[in-house]
Amino acid sequence: MTRANALTAVRLVCAPVIAAAISWGADGVALVAFLVAIMSDWFDGPLARRYGEASPLGGFFDHATDAIFVTAGLTAIALTGEGTLWLPPLIVAAFVQYTLDSGAPRGRPLRASGLGRWNGIAYFVLLGVPVVRDGLSLGWPPPAWTTAGAWLLVAATIASAADRMSSRYRTS
């Protein structure tokens, strides 16, 4: 267990916390869990590089934790009637494809695509919009915006998976 992996583990612990907090309407708790997760994600990579602890396993743990965190949070958001339940399983499928195509099970580092990298950021943004809105009692943007964003990410996630699949066949 490296320092960076310990920090990543904090984000992993935040996944069920944010899902439960959203489900129970504990907006302040959801906001704190989201902010803690963002901070851990921001600092785990630089910490690993600073102490020479970066590794394919650490990179996999980081990305897997990101996928678990956003999937848990976006599932809870969708169950409140905002977003869509189509997106969380697509995130899981895209992550599995990303892992297998990169060769991570054979110890290779993950290889992100351009669209996949932007999708990963957008998942956090999509989760953050209602969590920050509700946690700070802003009342804006409306839930319909989150739902529209979720459907855009459904399309972008499918496009990313199709691009990754077609590039695999182009290089084979």
Predicted local distance difference test score (pLDDT) of residue 88: 98
Range of the domain at 141: 3-171
What value, to the nearest 5°, has the Cα angle with vertex 165 and ends 164 and 166? 95
- pLDDT tens digits along 83-129: 999 999 999 999 999 888 877 777 777 777 778 889 999 999 999 99
Please state the domain count of the chain: 1
Q: How confident is the model at residue 171 (pLDDT cuts 50, 70, 90)?
A: low
To the nearest whole number, what is the mean pLDDT of the chain?
Answer: 92
Q: Are the C-beta atoms of residues 112 and 45 closer than 8 Å to each other? A: no
- Cβ neighbours of residue 5 closer than 8 Å, sequence gap 6 or more: 44, 48, 53, 58, 61
SS3 131: helix
**If we measure between CA atoms, which residue out of 86, 90, 11 comes closest to residue 44?**
11
Does 170 have pLDDT greater than 90?
no
Half-sphere exposure of 69 (CA within 13 A, CB side): 30
- Looking up residue 28, the CATH number of its domain turns out to be 1.20.120.1760
Q: State the CB neighbour count (10 A cutoff) for residue 167.
A: 12
Q: How far apart are the first and last CA of the chain?
A: 36
Instruction: Render 49-71 in DSSP notation, one character per residue.
Output: HHTT---HHHHHHHHHHHHHHHH
What value, to the nearest 5°, has the Cα angle with vertex 19 and ends 18 and 24? 95
